[in-house]
Amino acid sequence: MDMYDKLNELYEKRRRSKLGGGEQRIVQQHTKGKLTARERISYLLDAETFVELYPFITQRPIKNGELIVNHAYGDGVVTGYGKIDGEPVYIYAQDFTVMGGTLGEMHGKKIAAVLDLAAQNNSPFLGLIDSGGARIQEGVAALDGYGQIFRRNVRYSGVIPQISVILGPSAGGAVYSPAITDFVIMVQDTSQMFITGPKIIEQVTGEKITAERLGGAFIHNTKSGNAHFIAKTEKEALDIVRRLIPYMPSAQGRSSVLPFHYDSAKENDLMKIVPVESKTSYDVKQVIQSIVDQSSFLEVHAQFAKNIVVGFVRIGGKKVGIVANQPRYLAGSLDLDASDKAARFIRFCDAFQIPVVTLVDVTGFFPGVNQEHQGIIRHGAKLLYAYAEATVAKITIILRKAYGGAYVALSSKSIGADIVFAWPNAEIAVMGAEGAVSILYTKELTESKDPISLMKEKISTYKKRFATPYEAAELGLVDDVIDPRETRGKIIAALEMLKYKHVVSPVKKHGNIPL
The DSSP string of 390-440 is: --S-EEEEEEEEEEHHHHHHTT-GGGT-SEEEE-TT-EEESS-HHHHHHHH
DSSP conformation letters of 94-151? E-TTTGGG-B-HHHHHHHHHHHHHHHHTT--EEEEE----B-GGGTHHHHHHHHHHHH
Q: Give residues with Cβ within 8 angstroms of 100, minimum separation 6.
A: 76, 131, 132
Residue type, 2: D
CA angle (229 as vertex; 227, 232 as ends), nearest 5: 120
DSSP SS3 for 164: strand
The CA-atom distances, in angstroms, between 219 and each of 119, 163, 195, 213, 241 are 32, 19, 14, 7, 21
Query: Among the options 22, 173, 416, 435, which is catalytic?
Result: 173
Residue among 163, 221, 161 nearest 187 (CA): 221
Whole-number Å distance between alpha carbons of 126 and 114: 10
Q: Give residues with Cβ within 8 angstroms of 330, minimum separation 6.
A: 307, 338, 366
CATH 3.90.226.10 fits 266-430+467-497, yes or no: yes
Instruction: Indicate if 172 belongs to the active site.
Output: yes
Neighbouring-strand partners of residue 493? none
Residue among 358, 355, 299 nearest 323 (CA): 358
Mean pLDDT by 10 residues, the chain (515 residues): 72 70 85 93 97 88 56 88 96 93 92 97 96 87 93 97 96 90 96 90 90 94 97 97 93 70 91 90 97 97 97 96 97 96 98 97 94 95 97 97 94 96 92 79 81 82 80 93 97 96 91 93
The CA-atom distances, in angstroms, between 402 and each of 273, 288, 380 are 18, 18, 15
Q: By the 8 A CB rule, do 308 and 274 touch? A: no
Residue among 290, 330, 296, 332 nearest 311 (CA): 296
Q: By the 8 A CB rule, do 161 and 248 touch? A: yes
What does the chain come to in residues?
515
Q: Give residues with Cβ within 8 angstroms of 331, minimum separation 6.
A: 281, 307, 363
DSSP SS3 for 300: strand
Q: What is the pTM of this model?
A: 0.92
Neighbouring-strand partners of residue 230? 186
Whole-number Å distance between alpha carbons of 358 and 360: 6
Q: DSSP label at 213? A: H
Whole-number Å distance between alpha carbons of 288 and 295: 11
DSSP conformation letters of 479-506? SEE--GGGHHHHHHHHHHHTTT----PP
Instruction: Give the largest Cα separation in the chain, rounded.
Output: 110
Instruction: Indicate if 405 belongs to the active site.
Output: yes
Phi, psi of 402 (to 5 degrees): -150, 90
How many Å from the N-terminal Cα to the C-terminal Cα in the chain?
62
Query: Among the options 113, 393, 406, 494, which is catalytic?
Result: 406
Q: By the 8 A CB rule, do 505 and 372 touch? A: no
Q: Is the dihedral of CA 149, 154, 159, 161 positive or negative?
A: positive
Residue among 112, 235, 243 nearest 183 (CA): 243
CATH class of 3-247: alpha beta
Q: Do domains 3-247 and 266-430+467-497 have the same CATH topology?
A: yes
Q: By the 8 A CB rule, do 185 and 193 touch? A: no
Cα 239 from chain centre: 16
Whole-number Å distance between alpha carbons of 368 and 362: 16
For the chain, give every domain's residue range: 3-247, 266-430+467-497, 433-466
Query: Among the options 405, 416, 435, 489, which is catalytic?
Result: 405
Residue among 412, 409, 407 nearest 429 (CA): 407
Element (H, E) at 4: helix 3-19
Whole-number Å distance between alpha carbons of 240 and 336: 27
Task: Bin 337: left if φ > 0, else alpha if -120 < ψ < 50, else beta.
Answer: alpha
Query: Among the options 172, 215, 216, 432, which is catalytic?
Result: 172
Q: By the 8 A CB rule, do 53 and 113 touch? A: yes
